[in-house]
Amino acid sequence: MEASNETEICSGGDFVIDFTDDAAASFWTRSENEILLVYIGVPLVVAIGVPGNLAFLFTLFRVKEMQTITNFYLANLAVSDLLYISLFAGYNTGAYFIAPDVANTFVVTSWLGCAVVTFSLDVLYFGSNLMVTLVAIERFYAICHPLKSRQSRSSGRALLLVTIFWAVAIGCSFAVVSRMSRYRTGCVMWPEDDGNSGTRPSTVNFCLPGEPWVTLCTQILYVGFWTIGMLVNSYMYYRIVRRLGLHTFATSADGGNQQAEKKKKVRRQVAKMLIISSIVYFLLQSPRVIILNVLGLIKAASGITIVQQGQVTILWPITVFLSLVNSAVNPIIYNTTNARYRAAILQAFGCSTCRGVDRQPSTTAATVSSRVAEQSESNPANPDQPNVE
- Average pLDDT of 78-107? 93
3-state secondary structure of 212: helix
pLDDT digits (tens, 9 = 90+) for 110-145: 989 999 999 999 999 999 999 999 999 998 988 888
pLDDT of residue 253: 46
Burial of residue 166 (CB within 10 Å: 0-12, 13-18, 19+) is middle
The structure's pTM equals 0.82
Query: Architecture of 6-378 per CATH?
Result: Up-down Bundle (1.20)
Is 133 in contact with 277 (CB distance < 8 Å)?
no
Dihedral pair phi/psi, residue 204, rounded to 5°? -135, 155
β-strand partners of 16: 187
Question: Which of 5-14, 24-33, 256-265, 331-340 shows the lowest mean pLDDT across its residues?
Answer: 5-14
Q: What DSSP string runs through 215-247?
A: HHHHHHHHHHHHHHHHHHHHHHHHHHHHHHHHH
Q: What DSSP string runs through 153-203?
A: --HHHHHHHHHHHHHHHHHHHHHHGGGG-EEEEEEEE--TT-TTTTTS-SE
- CA distances to 35, 91, 168, 249, 316 from 174, in Å: 31, 19, 10, 48, 23
For β-strands 15-18 and 203-208, DSSP reports them as: unpaired
Indicate the residue type of 322.
L
**pLDDT band at 296, cuts 50/70/90?**
confident
Is 178 in contact with 217 (CB distance < 8 Å)?
no
Cβ neighbors of 366 (< 8 A, separation 6 or more) are: 65, 266, 339, 340, 343, 344
**pLDDT band at 208, cuts 50/70/90?**
confident
Strand order in the sheet with 203-208: 15-18, 182-189, 203-208
pLDDT of residue 210: 78
pLDDT digits (tens, 9 = 90+) for 223-269: 999 999 999 999 999 999 888 875 554 444 444 566 666 777 777 88
Asked whether the predicted pLDDT for residue 12 surpasses 70, the reply is no
Asked whether the predicted pLDDT for residue 69 surpasses 70, the reply is yes
- CA distances to 126, 216, 218 from 224, in Å: 12, 12, 10
pLDDT of residue 189: 87
Indicate the residue type of 212.
P
Cβ neighbors of 376 (< 8 A, separation 6 or more) are: 150, 153, 382, 385, 386, 387
What distance, in Å, lies between the first and last C-alpha atoms of the chain? 60
Asked whether the predicted pLDDT for residue 362 surpasses 50, the reply is no
Asked whether the predicted pLDDT for residue 288 surpasses 80, the reply is yes
Question: Which of 78-87, 148-157, 205-214, 215-224 shows the lowest mean pLDDT across its residues?
Answer: 148-157
Burial of residue 299 (CB within 10 Å: 0-12, 13-18, 19+) is middle
- Average pLDDT of 170-178? 91
Tell me the C-alpha distance between 287 and 323, whole Å: 9
Stronger pLDDT, 22 or 360, i.e. the higher one: 22
Dihedral pair phi/psi, residue 358, rounded to 5°? -70, -10
